[in-house]
A and B are shown apart, each in its own frame.
Chain A
């Protein structure tokens, strides 16, 4: 005989469970959810369902909530899930962990229980070698719980993020505020898309700034996407809304493996590997002084014309982007003659160095498209520490052991040629267009340094200078570099795509070992 009372008891208990779950799913309640929507923001749970493939999200710690720190009553209803939705799910069929801060619960502030939930995710991400995504919309640490010297025990979240760095991809999607110390979450992440208007990050929120220094500002003015995606370079992409931000996070991950021991995923393409590109001559002027938009060249070369740029609005004099070549995920570092003539400055060097390091950490091969007049010189850039910043790029390109392919389109001058993976940096293939100019510097500069006395002593100094310039110009010729076998080949520009794909495939089995060291002393 079944025990009916016991079965009714279990039913009751189950009903109670569902009621508790329903409360957690309701987040901060109808009013707060409406306020969230009124701000053109999605709720944490709506965001999570956009992030993951339909029906794959498994939540962890849904029934957690805040506990009173002062011995007063605990109010589970006020803090469903303790303000952060955590769990795992699939993105394009691959498992990823996610922490989505819920602004409808105490402004998404980071409480002790919520932080314990996120800590568990970080631990799992590292143990299981799987990526982690933060969906940030949080006022920062929950001061009600954190004020006072128990602070001495905190901070491990960043330590753990550093241990994850280069092992699993980390994405911090900025969907609201991310004030105070928690801004180091994006600071340590590999990719940081930001929603225009609603998102912000700053080491001190506006109210703290006012208290600390007296400066009047707002979170948006201080740390919105207009600052971080254009000026500071902390943000990677400015997007219009939450959906676009989450789509960017998904796409970023599509170019990377789940961890540093795997290869980046390949994707099928209908684009022909040997597709010739006959109109590159129209895009790239032969006059080496004339500017053009390198992004258009890259679009022509990449599979299906698809380019996923990292930091497109910051340090625009260099382009860093993920593309696919015959389905192979590839990182591209390309000069941008359209901006500052493609000359390198401190921000361009930082942007490229970081991108190269990212690709190398996750086994994504690199392609360099060179049309670089060199590093900007002069008093201004020396004050900014151009040597120190340029050294970062030298360091990154030297350290990278992934397949490296270099194409010289036009100019390859001075240290610009080095940092864009010239011969000394062991590219697996180094090819040049017939228009290439590889040299320590342009003929004009060279003449003024090598022949100043001869020019001054001539009857007609101006004519003499021109003669010397012409003489030096003749020594800048890609066929000279090819005749010494410093470049592997001079190629028909129309064949560039095929040449890149062949070279990447040729180097796909590359395994490079370095001399053992704890780590190098990286310039910063």
Chain B
């Protein structure tokens, strides 16, 4: 089980996966808007998306766990 964390503070623009979806290492899970950039939040491991812990439009702080991949 791996906690996927936001690397910097930003506005959570888009979630591109669903709970239960299979993902490969480095796949984009969601996209953060910060510093004038669309910054992908990727999964460090291959597996299944277990939980999504944020909502689109939410401001996410640096280091916050945004998803759990198993």
Chain A residues within CB distance 8 Å of chain B: 288-291, 337-343, 345, 373-374, 376, 378, 380, 411, 413, 442, 444-445
Contacts and interface: CB of A to CB of B under 8 A. Distances in A.
B38 A290 contact: yes
Interface string B44-64: 000000000000000001100
Nearest to B39: A341
A275 B41 CA distance: 35
B35 A444 contact: no
A5 to B, nearest CB: 76
Given A341-B38, A343-B34, 16 more contacts: A288-B36, A289-B36, A290-B38, A291-B37, A291-B38, A291-B40, A337-B37, A339-B7, A340-B8, A340-B35, A341-B35, A342-B37, A343-B8, A373-B36, A373-B37, A376-B8
A341 B39 CA distance: 6
A382 to B, nearest CB: 12
A-B CB proximity, top 10 nearest = A341-B37, A343-B35, A373-B35, A442-B36, A341-B35, A289-B38, A373-B36, A341-B39, A340-B8, A340-B7
Given A291-B39, A291-B40, A341 B62 contact: no
Contacts of B8: 340-341, 343, 345, 376
A54 B62 CA distance: 51
Nearest to B63: A380
Contacts of B39: 291, 340-341
Main secondary structure of the interface of A (DSSP, over half): loop
B42 to A, nearest CB: 9
A483 B36 CA distance: 26
B11 to A, nearest CB: 12
B9 interface: yes
A413 B36 CA distance: 10
Contacts of A338: 40
A281 B62 CA distance: 32
Chain A CB within 10 Å, residue with most, of B8, B34, B36: B36
A339 B62 CA distance: 13
A291 B31 CA distance: 10
A380 B38 CA distance: 20
Contacts, number: 46
A210 B65 CA distance: 32
Nearest to B40: A291
Contacts of A445: 36
Nearest to B8: A340
Contacts of B38: 289-291, 341
Contact of B62 (A342, A380, A411): A380
Interface in B13-36: 33-36
Nearest to A289: B38
Contacts of B36: 288-289, 341, 373, 411, 413, 442, 444-445
Contacts of B34: 340-341, 343
A440 to B, nearest CB: 13
Contact of A378 (B7, B9, B33): B9
A288 B36 CA distance: 8
5 contacts: A338-B40, A341-B37, A345-B8, A376-B35, A442-B36
A271 to B, nearest CB: 29
A463 B33 CA distance: 21
B62 to A, nearest CB: 6
A345 to B, nearest CB: 8
A340 B35 CA distance: 8
Contact of B35 (A290, A374, A380): A374
Contacts of A340: 7-8, 34-35, 39
A485 B37 CA distance: 28
A425 to B, nearest CB: 22
Contacts of B61: 380
Nearest to A445: B36
Contacts of B62: 380
A378 B35 CA distance: 11
B50 to A, nearest CB: 24
